[in-house]
Structure 1
Amino acid sequence: VRMCTQYEIKMQQITVCFTLTEVQLVHFQEPEVFNYSTLLLSDGKDVLYVGAREVIFALNSVNIAEKHHELYWKVTEDKKTKCADKGKSKQTECLNYVRVLQPLNDDVLYVCGTNAFQPICDHLNLMSFELRGKNEDGKGRCPFDPAQSYTSVMVDGELYSGTSYNFLGSEPIISRNSHQSPLRTEYAIPWLNEPSFVFADVIRADRNSTEEDDDKVYFFFTEMSVEYEFVGKLMIPRISRVCKRDQGGLRTLQKKWTSFLKARLICTTPDKNLIFNIINDVFILKSPSLKEPVIYGVFTPQLNNMGLSAVCAYNLSTVEDVFSKGKYMQSATVEQSHTKWVRYNGEIPKPRPGACINKEARAANYMSSLNLPDKTLQFVKDHPLMDDSVTPIGDRPRLIKRDVRYTQIVVDRVTALNGSMYNVMFVSTDKGALHKAISYENGMHIIEEIQLFPNFEPVQTLLLSSKKVSMKNRTVVLVTFQHGSLHSILHCIS
């Protein structure tokens, strides 16, 4: 059955056609294996690496029903018993949930698992598909609890992680795990306050720029507010940033980030009646046809009685303006030790606190963060939160949808038949559906909805393949759902 629909956007007609038989779900499931929760797509090798409970798979990414390799990574009985003695379930929690799959090089994956609440990391040889047995301490790299939020990204052989640093899950941390210069956040409420991590990625500096800036790693999370008075816990969506060449401070902030700053992500309607303050997923669109990367975020309100979801988009330059030019916040003690956060209007030390070491800093003879003056370091230690917020493109959401909770988003940039470039989005729901939308000047327009799972299970993961599967421009979207299986959908996007 072939279906075609015409859409008119600002005097331009867009015809969208798809064949129902082209929407093919491919299924992968192994007996007694659950929690297919960590996916890594290698387009160059046509391989999808899957981290599940106590096992790692290598699948054919074009046809995930075809399994290339499997490696079981189980917990010893002794560790299970010790974990159970601490009050955890021996049958469910005291197992090894694979939570980190990151490429170290073409032949090795860096892998980490919860390991019965004693997180562990190792190197997976992709040729033999065996672990090297390094058994590195996974503390700060991988969560203890399989239910805890976490995110990670590998940048030039170093793992950047957002997770919890202790058994109880009460010490959140953003860290870089490096043999030369490991760094982490301060354990302090102004730095991280009960965050729920969702995404991390690196954005490379423009090599043609005269600023000689640094690569930056961005983290996205929702955390409890410190700056707003509210009856209950008010949650705030955040973007934070660290610099790749950060070496920590010499005296102040030793082995701590000197470049950690965070800001609020605004996703509200223009009349401010709807505030979307829980961020569920992020995708950063990087394309040679774009002047700059664009950050897409999926949001829901904290008190979501109406089942609302929104997609907001942000230019990277807006983010950088907040961090490089915005005002800072500071804590002020009022009314018998009550702390209130207000805008800091005093003098800002030089070099600017939280800035990367760039051409301007080197011109002032600051070649490394280890050379930064204590005044700058103490300031950023006390003022990691920006007063200015990151506003979305157009000062409004690109899409607002009722009666749905969006869970994941991926975005591609495609050329239409008329030669125009459009951003095409796949947004998944907690009821097992996939929305396909096109982004244009006046917002996003949903042009297709596919019900993936008949039992309405939530879509937990989306991955977008950049590889053309045939002469037609196709994209593979890989999805998992709760009851322990993995699906892929081969879908035409143009």
Structure 2
Amino acid sequence: MLLLLILSFWGPAVLTSGQVRPLYGTPRKTFTLSSNRGHVFREEGVWNYSTMLLREDIGVLILGAREAIFALDLANITHKKSMVKWEVTPEMRKTCSNKGKNLATECQNYIRILHKMPDGRMYVCGTNAFIPTCDYMSYTDGILALEGKQLDGKGKCPFDPVQRYASELVDGELYSATFMNFLGSEPVVMRSLNDTIRTDFLTSWLNEPIFIGMKHVAEGKENPQGDDDKIYLFFSETAVEYDSYTKLEVSRVARVCKGDVGGQRTLQKKWTSFLKARLDCPLPQTKLPFLMQDVFLFCPGDWTTCVFYGVFTPQMDMSQYSAVCAYRIEDITEVFSEGKFKTLHNENSIPKWVTYHGDVPDPRPGACINNDARQKGFSKSLDLPDKTLQFIKDRPLMDQAVKPPSQQPLLVKKGAAFTCIVVASTTALDGSIHQVMFIGTASGSVLKAVDYNGNMVIIEEVHLFKHSEPVKILRLSTTMGQLYAGSEVAAVQMPLSTCDHYTSCMDCVLARDPYCGWDLISNSCIAINSARPDTHGEVVQSLRDGNATRCPAVESTKTIKLFHPGNMVRLLCQPGSNLARVQWRVNDHPVENSNMYHIQHNTLFILNASDSDTGHYTCTSVESSNGKDYVTKIATYELRLWNIQMDASVQPQVQEQRNTLLALQAVVTILMLVLVALVTWNFYKGHITIARCFNKTEESPRSMSSY
């Protein structure tokens, strides 16, 4: 049964005849946070830096952690401007522990909700030892302060600190997706603060969901049909539409209308516009559907241009792949507005979800109030007929799945699981606009990737956190040109691009970083937005092709290396990138592994070197781009046999080596003399005696036998 289920689920993807994207497994460059001009913030005794609110209007990053909230300078997060503690009382901690929760970890207050209110204050909620509580917070004259309202947070904030949730604040109303009870058995999608409305407690609406993200799309002002704004919810849940012996999870996208106020009789105080559909990120080489872990809304223009970027990881199998899929809002809208519904059908007394082929009431179930509905006399959801409301109550699931436009992921990578994603937009030298993805991983790094017309390039990987702490949250400030990330142990900040990483023209151009280009005048890799328009002709950038033919040749410096006969000689070579391959040559002849030579990690070892091994050794880095090989000479060595009578050009190097050796010998001699003096002094003072040493040796067996 499960096999049939898998084939029915993935059959169309497996049989697709189109091109399947290759696996992009290697970032071109690998950097550390410190080398990337990054900053790290952590406070002693504080953990779980996983909630962020960018306040670009006041120049601070509001960072929520465990029992603490910080206001950090957006330009440099190591500058803590203010901090407020929100701790659990001892009585609450004891009550939480008595309910079976861990006193040290779970019975704390984890800050989970941070939103800016229309009046400039902030709305903040925490788990509060499994009694979710909310409050208002202000930042005035550089001081963070909680108002102490102690508002009920049920349905707004999770009880459990490890439980996934989603929230969005729109026009003073809080939209949230979490659980209503202590046990985590009552999932809810709710609007609160002013006008409360929520989902029904039916498995056909939400079936053991894991909430991922919530996004607001303001289409109401520009929609020609007079449609409403939408709140989109992304989550995974146990599928109700498939028969299997084990639980099968699928990713979903759901949406509700901002103006929804519930029904008059049916669905009172419940959503009348809640619709959901399966969200596919098809990977033909996998058996089970991938599950979404994070989502980012990117809108380069009006609402019709919006794209949702999601990161996906596998379920129930040992696959080590992660993926990024993108979904156009027009495709999601088409499924909800024109697609068929699923309905529960009893077949031989066995309930089964099948495609609904009957009549669909008018107005269409789940639709927002638009111009067409108003012309028919329905100005708000309270006016909708019971027939429409009962239909959507019983059938909130769409039959058709939402798929990416290309029917395949943008990026597939083997390795550490993807955890989160943000997307920035930048303009290249030729005026073209590119979306740059920053993807957090479970190993504590962030990947920077760009799709050039179907050719995905992972520009770099930056290691953010030590000990492979997973990246829990990413936030992007295009105003500051900075990326902010949080983990269990710290928060970090890094620039979106650091062009001076690239030290040569070829390295800069082959990086294909839309933020960077090589300035032929200053002979440096510069930020494109800093280049003057009148000098654009002297700046080299080739993003789609990676064409570095305009780059001038660069000569490597020659190193003279001396060796003694019979010794092993080691010649180092650092390739230009992770994608480059190293080639060694001696006297212009290729070097291969043999009894004489051994190449390991790009380093050449000459075994049992002799007079015949003297000569010129060169290491070149070869990197392919768009079918063309680009060769860079990385290192040049002149290997000479050491002897007393060397020419004057080598003599200074030999003298320097001799001076270094003599200095080391002098240091060792001094240390030995100091050691002898210390031992002699201890014998003289009686601290150490030969008899005492022997006595200890004799007593040791007796002392051991006494245990």
Q: Deviations over 1:253-288 (max 9, x none)?
A: 00000000000111103x475654210110110112
Match of 1:175 in 2: 190
Match of 1:159 in 2: 174
Equivalent positions of 1:180-195 (< 5 A) are 181-195=195-209
Match of 1:409 among 392, 396, 421: 421
Which residue identity does 2:490 align to in structure 1? S
User: Alpha carbons of 1:301 and 1:365: their partners in 2 closer, same or farther (altered >3 Å)?
Assistant: same
Give SS of 1:388's match.
coil
Residues 1:286 and 2:292 aligned together: no
User: Alpha carbons of 1:210 and 1:93: their partners in 2 closer, same or farther (altered >3 Å)?
Assistant: same
Equivalent positions of 1:388-407 (< 5 A) are 388-407=400-419
Match of 1:331 among 344, 347, 354: 344
* TM-score of the aligned structures, taking structure 1 as reference length: 0.91
Which residue identity does 2:323 align to in structure 1? A
Equivalent positions of 1:93-492 (< 5 A) are 93-127=106-140, 128-179=143-194, 181-205=195-219, 207-269=221-283, 271=284, 273=286, 275-288=288-301, 292-336=305-349, 338-467=350-479, 469=480, 475-482=481-488, 484-492=489-497
Equivalent positions of 1:36-55 (< 5 A) are 36-55=49-68
Is the 8 Å Cα contact of residues 426 and 435 (structure 1) preserved in structure 2?
yes
Give SS of 1:126's match.
strand
Match of 1:11 in 2: none
Cα deviation for residue 480 of structure 1 reads: 1.7
Task: Give distance in 2, aligned partners of 1:373 and 1:167.
Answer: 36
Residues 1:30 and 2:43 aligned together: yes
Give SS of 1:115's match.
coil
Q: Deviations over 1:221-270 (max 9, x none)?
A: 1111111122311110000000000010011000000000000111103x
Larger relative helix fraction: 2
User: Alpha carbons of 1:34 and 1:193: their partners in 2 closer, same or farther (altered >3 Å)?
Assistant: same
Is the 8 Å Cα contact of residues 308 and 403 (structure 1) preserved in structure 2?
yes
Task: Give distance in 2, aligned partners of 1:198 and 1:23.
Answer: 30
Which residue identity does 1:151 align to in structure 2? A
Is the 8 Å Cα contact of residues 109 and 127 (structure 2) preserved in structure 1?
yes
Number of aligned pairs?
469
Cα deviation for residue 368 of structure 1 reads: 0.3
Which residue identity does 2:185 align to in structure 1? S
Give SS of 1:356's match.
coil
User: Alpha carbons of 1:120 and 1:454: their partners in 2 closer, same or farther (altered >3 Å)?
Assistant: closer
Larger relative strand fraction: 1
Task: Give distance in 1, aligned partners of 2:64 and 2:403.
Answer: 35
Task: Give distance in 1, aligned partners of 2:469 and 2:289.
Answer: 23
Task: Give distance in 1, aligned partners of 2:112 and 2:31.
Answer: 37
Instruction: Give ranges in structure 1 of 5+ residues lacking alignment.
Output: 1-15, 470-474
Cα deviation for residue 209 of structure 1 reads: 3.1
User: Alpha carbons of 1:443 and 1:353: their partners in 2 closer, same or farther (altered >3 Å)?
Assistant: farther
Cα deviation for residue 443 of structure 1 reads: 4.7
Match of 1:9 in 2: none
Is the 8 Å Cα contact of residues 219 and 303 (structure 2) preserved in structure 1?
no
Is the 8 Å Cα contact of residues 414 and 421 (structure 1) preserved in structure 2?
yes
What percentage of aligned pairs have identical amino acids?
45
Task: Give distance in 2, aligned partners of 1:62 and 1:389.
Answer: 43
Task: Give distance in 1, aligned partners of 2:196 and 2:313.
Answer: 35
Which residue identity does 1:389 align to in structure 2? A
Is the 8 Å Cα contact of residues 267 and 275 (structure 1) preserved in structure 2?
no
Cα deviation for residue 84 of structure 1 reads: 1.5
Give SS of 1:375's match.
helix
CA RMSD of aligned residues (A): 1.9
Task: Give distance in 2, aligned partners of 1:424 and 1:490.
Answer: 13
Which residue identity does 1:204 align to in structure 2? A
Which residue identity does 2:484 align to in structure 1? L
User: Alpha carbons of 1:488 and 1:274: their partners in 2 closer, same or farther (altered >3 Å)?
Assistant: farther
Cα deviation for residue 36 of structure 1 reads: 1.1
Task: Give distance in 1, aligned partners of 2:282 and 2:269.
Answer: 37
Cα deviation for residue 158 of structure 1 reads: 0.5
Cα deviation for residue 18 of structure 1 reads: 11
Which residue identity does 1:386 align to in structure 2? M
Give SS of 1:434's match.
strand
Q: Deviations over 1:146-166 (max 9, x none)?
A: 111111110000000010110
Cα deviation for residue 55 of structure 1 reads: 1.1
